[in-house]
Amino acid sequence: MGRTLTKAQHCIIPATAIYEPDWRSGRAIATRIVQADGEIMGIAGLWEEWCDPSSREILRSYTMLTVNADEHEFMRNYHKPTDEKRMVVILPRSDYQNWLVAPAVASAQFMRCYLAECLAVAQQVNVPPPG
């Protein structure tokens, strides 16, 4: 994806929620996280167009960008205690257009954690362990 970032093929992935594992109880509990205001999230992403070598079909794919969240007061509660804390880059609505037209050299300025007070737990889902 490094080549995609240098081409500045920015996109925004809409999401009503993200799911992260809450390990504070000692086991993973799938947790649905939403924007506190109920709005849809706009997650910063990169897109790529490529040709499938076996079918010769032109495909489009994308990736969601993440940043370190070890010190983020909300997101540091998720993932295993020994794992690095990561969060997707949620763009403030006021940055949508700027992200889409930003040159590659300006991409890094958007790579920041979303404000903790703007996120909320919508529900925790008990998922039985596999097997």
In a domain, 34, yes or no: yes
Strands 18-22 and 29-35 turn out to be: antiparallel
Q: Which residues of the chain have pLDDT under 50?
A: 1-2
Residue reference for tokens 């167009």: 49
CATH code assigned at 107:
3.90.1680.10
Rounded distance, CA 72 to CA 45, Å?
A: 21
pLDDT score at 31: 92
Q: How many domains does the chain have?
A: 1
- Look at residue 129 and tell me if it is in a domain: no
Which structural domain range is residue 102 located in? 2-124
| Residue 130 covered by a domain | no
The pLDDT value given to residue 4: 52
Rg of the Cα atoms in the chain: 17
- The pLDDT score that the predictor gives to residue 115 is 96
H-helix segments, 1-131: 2-7, 96-101
Which pLDDT score is estimated for 63? 94
Residue 33 in contact with residue 123, Cβ under 8 Å?
A: no
Tell me the whole-structure pTM to 2 decimals: 0.83
Residue 18 resides in a domain: yes
Residue 131 lies in a domain: no
